[in-house]
Amino acid sequence: MSSSTLPLWVTIPGTVLLVLGGLATLVGSLGLLRLRDFFSRMHGPSMTNTMGAGAVLLTSMLAFSAWTGRPTFHGLLVAVFLLTGAPISTSLLIQAALHRAGLRSGA
Amino acid sequence: MNAVFNGALWFTQICVVLAMLNATARLLIGPAAQDRALAFDSLYVNGMLTLLLLGIRSRSTAYFDTALLIALFGFVGTTALAKFLLRGDVVEP
């Protein structure tokens, strides 16, 4: 962080996004740890998946755009993979939990 | 102003490491198998965030390809675990 300083249009949104993303990640993991049953615990990691990862990826794209001097969109690929993968795995985990709880016979 | 960004980077890294510790605790004490699968899902997303933050800190894009691979293979792993819990087999005949 010493050779070239970041401009102001990166540091202000980057700081806000980093703090918000870190808080969302921490609150989501606390929900994963402290909620009572499995279907309540499903809510926690979705906060990490959407808001924490989204904020960190936006900050990464902003910072690398400033460092390389041209618009950089390398975070979009990870965001696409996460945002398409998270609902599928969540739905499959809920189906598995319902199947194991005996609430649904066939699957 | 750069020091503020650096401090926010530290704060987020500490938050993500604490989240990884919480997910590990749920992975160890989880009463059912689906709790452990969910904790594994949260754990790989947090590890990917750790790699992205390290990439921002060290200003290197080499961490980014690793984060992409973790996002892909973590999704495959969670899907395979959920499929195994659902059907008792991953690749069906």
Q: Does the beta carbon of B62 lie under 8 angstroms from any beta carbon of chain A? A: no
Range of the domain at A61: 18-100
Q: Per the domain annotation, does A68 fall within a domain?
A: yes
Q: Per the domain annotation, does A107 fall within a domain?
A: no
Nearest by CB to A11, from B4, B37, B52: name it. Answer: B4
Q: Report the gap between the CA of B91 and the closest CA in chain A (Å).
A: 15
Q: Which of A50, A66, A51, A76 is nearest to A10 (CA)?
A: A66
For residue A35, what is the domain's CATH number?
1.10.287
pLDDT at A104: 62
pTM, full prediction: 0.88
pLDDT in tens, chain A (107 residues): 444 678 888 889 999 999 999 999 999 999 999 988 888 999 888 888 889 999 999 999 999 999 888 888 888 999 999 999 889 999 999 998 888 887 665 54
Average pLDDT (B23-28) is: 94
On average, the pLDDT of chain B sits at: 90
CA–CA distance, A22 with B8 (Å, rounded to integer): 9
ipTM for the complex shown? 0.87
Per-residue pLDDT for B21 more than 90?
yes
Q: Per the domain annotation, does A57 fall within a domain?
A: yes
Contact list in B for residue A53 (CB cut-off 8 A) is: 45, 48-49
Q: What's the full length of chain A, in residues?
A: 107
Structure tokens at B48: 């990917």
Contact list in A for residue B59 (CB cut-off 8 A) is: 1, 63, 67
Q: Per the domain annotation, does A42 fall within a domain?
A: yes
| Domains, chain B, ordered by start | 2-87 (1.10.287)
- What are the backbone angles phi and psi of residue A70, rounded to the nearest 5°? -140, 160
CA A102 to chain centre: 31
How many CA atoms are closer than 13 Å to the CA of A8, on its beta-carbon side? 0
CA-to-CA dists, residue B86 to A40, B81, B89, angstroms: 19, 9, 8
Q: Per the domain annotation, does A56 fall within a domain?
A: yes
Nearest by CB to B86, from A26, A88, A99: name it. Answer: A99
- The number of folded domains in chain A is 1
- Report the percent of chain B where pLDDT is more than 90: 68
pLDDT at A1: 46
Q: Which amino acid type is present at position B33?
A: A
Closest residue of chain B to A76, computed from CA coordinates: B68
